[in-house]
């Protein structure tokens, strides 16, 4: 399951959004308190497949969100408890851009760019401490015995330390191959993909709509989107609360009036999923229609392991049909008649939207 951790300063709307996305009721009270909730990834394709097969069960892909108590003011303390966030695949920073005299900003004036920079500084400082401690340990070990692997690790960590000292998040280094594998072991916070959630004022939503660029320019955050592995979503928590209270048709009409195709909460969930380079393949039938999460570039045998390790071990072939082909033909039988159901081997790279039936032996 994909894991995303919400971060944000006090009065940003972070916990409100967490509760709306995950239907959680409690709020974290102290720095050691952690709330975890599950969000379903919206996917119209799964809805269409469910209508086609009329299964007993519909199971969407999911994202796990973690919420922890926020610091009282920007830059006041080290925000991130490494133990609570180190297992997250991505960070979701909720940034206050709304104006409300009844909810004063802890730092005075509302300044989204200032808060974004302050949060980034917190991540950089936490990572710098990790890098420096690791370099000390490596130097001690290298004095005892020479090691090519340790020397490569030292070079990588030194590169990371230099970037951190210069104020550059590690996600901007765009590491790959062996360097990326080594870096994962440290679970650096600034190396994690980052989603900025711009919590707009209600009066600003109509002018921004779903345009992230307009929202980022309006709030001074456009420069942050130039960084690698960084995306943004704009929404208004006040409006999201209203939408959550409405029935489906009324909610859709409300969104249409604002020029939006879907709620901001759905966009946050979907963006968190996409940010990590994940996609969905589907299994379908009378019992169940389910979306499964895999990273782009995943081979068929590894994808089979998402369903069950026995299927991966006993993998024989994968019966694959593209989603668009199935919808166009209207049935699996019609796809077979037209030669659109393919038998693929274990090295076949799964594509977004593939409908797959795995053949295996135990």
pLDDT value at residue 76: 37
Give the tens place of pLDDT for each residue, 300-353: 999 999 999 999 999 999 999 999 999 999 999 999 999 999 999 999 999 999
Q: Is 325 left (phi over 0), alpha (psi -120 to 50) or beta?
A: alpha
Residue 80 has pLDDT above 70, yes or no: no
Count of other CB atoms within 10 angstroms of residue 154: 18
Cβ neighbours of residue 286 under 8 Å, at least 6 residues apart?
53, 54, 55, 56
pLDDT value at residue 75: 44
pLDDT value at residue 1: 77
What mean pLDDT is predicted for residues 218-243? 89
3-class SS of residue 6: strand
Start-end of H helices in the chain: 14-22, 44-53, 82-85, 112-144, 148-165, 177-184, 202-208, 212-219, 237-244, 248-257, 264-275, 300-307, 309-313, 323-329, 332-337
Residue 140 has pLDDT above 80, yes or no: yes
Give the tens place of pLDDT for each residue, 62-74: 999 988 876 655 5
pLDDT value at residue 184: 85
When comparing pLDDT for 211 and 235, which is higher? Answer: 235
Q: Is 51 left (phi over 0), alpha (psi -120 to 50) or beta?
A: alpha
Q: What is the CA radius of gyration of the chain?
A: 23
| DSSP secondary structure of 24-64 | ------STT-EEEEEEEPP-HHHHHHHHHH--SEEE--EEE
Question: What is the set of domains in the chain, with CATH numbers?
Answer: 2-43+60-108+192-275 (3.40.50.300), 297-360 (3.10.20.30)
């Amino acid at each position: 399951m994909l894991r995303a951790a919400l971060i944000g300063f006090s009065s940003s709307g972070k916990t409100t959004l967490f509760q709306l996305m995950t239907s959680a009721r409690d709020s974290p009270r102290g720095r050691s308190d952690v709330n975890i909730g599950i969000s379903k990834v919206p996917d119209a394709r799964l809805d269409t497949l469910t209508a086609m097969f009329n299964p007993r069960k519909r199971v969407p892909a999911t994202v796990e969100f973690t919420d922890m108590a926020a610091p009282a003011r920007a830059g006041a303390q080290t925000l991130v408890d490494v133990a609570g966030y180190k297992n997250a695949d991505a960070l979701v920073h909720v940034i206050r851009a709304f104006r409300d005299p009844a909810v004063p900003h802890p730092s005075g004036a509302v300044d989204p760019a200032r808060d974004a920079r302050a949060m980034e500084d917190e991540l950089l400082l936490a990572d710098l401490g990790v890098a420096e401690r690791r370099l000390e340990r490596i130097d001690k070990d290298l004095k005892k015995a020479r090691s090519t692997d340790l020397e490569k690790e030292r070079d990588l960590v030194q590169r990371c330390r230099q970037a951190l000292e210069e104020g550059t998040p590690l996600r901007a280094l765009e590491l790959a191959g062996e360097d990326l594998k080594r870096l994962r072991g440290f679970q650096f916070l600034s190396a994690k993909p980052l989603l900025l959630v711009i919590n707009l004022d209600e009066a600003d939503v109509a002018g921004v709509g779903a345009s992230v660029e307009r929202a980022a320019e309006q709030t001074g955050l456009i420069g942050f989107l130039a960084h690698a592995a960084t995306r943004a979503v704009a929404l208004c928590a006040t409006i999201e609360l209203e939408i959550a209270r409405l029935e489906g048709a009324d909610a859709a009409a409300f969104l249409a009036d604002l020029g939006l195709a879907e709620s901001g909460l759905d966009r946050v969930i979907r963006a968190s999923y996409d940010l990590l380079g994940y996609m969905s393949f589907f299994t379908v039938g009378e019992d169940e229609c389910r979306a499964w999460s895999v990273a782009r570039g995943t081979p068929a045998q590894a994808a089979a392991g998402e369903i069950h390790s026995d299927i991966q071990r006993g993998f024989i072939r994968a019966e694959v049909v593209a989603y668009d082909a199935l919808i166009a033909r209207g049935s699996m039988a019609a796809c077979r008649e037209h030669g659109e159901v393919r038998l693929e081997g274990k090295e076949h790279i799964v594509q977004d939207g593939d409908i797959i039936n795995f053949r295996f032996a135990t």
